[in-house]
Amino acid sequence: MQSWFKDTPNSVLDKQSLLTVTIYGPYGFYTKRLQRIARLIRQKYNFKNTYIVKDRRDFRKRLLNETPVIYFTEKSYYYLLHSHVNIFIFYCGPHAESASMELQFISQNLREKVPCCAVMKDTQCNMATILEGQMRITKFRVDKFDSHTHSCDDDITELVAARCIEFLIEKYHLLP
């Protein structure tokens, strides 16, 4: 365990399984990697309610006349609003339009959620200027990782866990 994790007061750690953490990022080739990060956050750091949006099961059922596009967009917006913590992971190269749109949605419509959001950004690439500018204007917390290292996803997992502990300390009084 990292020292920052060991030094966290026990009273705070008693509530870590109550924190809802949702991870947003590119699917396709990266889905399994995102799922692994979420699984490690659940297993290794005991944030039991950590999932990628796709794997969240407690959203309403899809309506008969509702297209999958509308259903999944509404599901995404629902978790942006209802998660205690929103984590955005941007790897270099993949199409990350959905995560970009979700980040933009927070910036434009849910400004009060910005303090409980974090962005994990690959140091190996440049983001779109407008997205980078939006992140700076809105003051998102940004952590960086190097996708060229063998331990890239483990590094991301540690960054996410550290942010979750930070958010848990900040939100401790809001949890039952």
Q: Which domain holds residue 168?
A: 3-174
Strand partners, 144: 121
**pLDDT of 136:** 93
**pLDDT of 7:** 56
**pLDDT of 171:** 78
Find the angle CA(115)-CA(82)-CA(39) to the nearest 5 degrees.
85
**pLDDT of 172:** 77
**For each successive 10 residues of the chain (176 residues), what is the average pLDDT?**
54 82 93 96 95 95 95 96 95 80 93 94 87 92 92 95 90 76
**pLDDT of 35:** 98
Record the pTM. Answer: 0.90
Q: Based on the structure, what is the number of domains in the chain? A: 1
Which CATH number does the domain housing residue 109 bear?
3.40.50.2300
Q: Which of 137, 138, 116, 135 has its CA nearest to residue 126?
A: 135
**pLDDT of 176:** 74
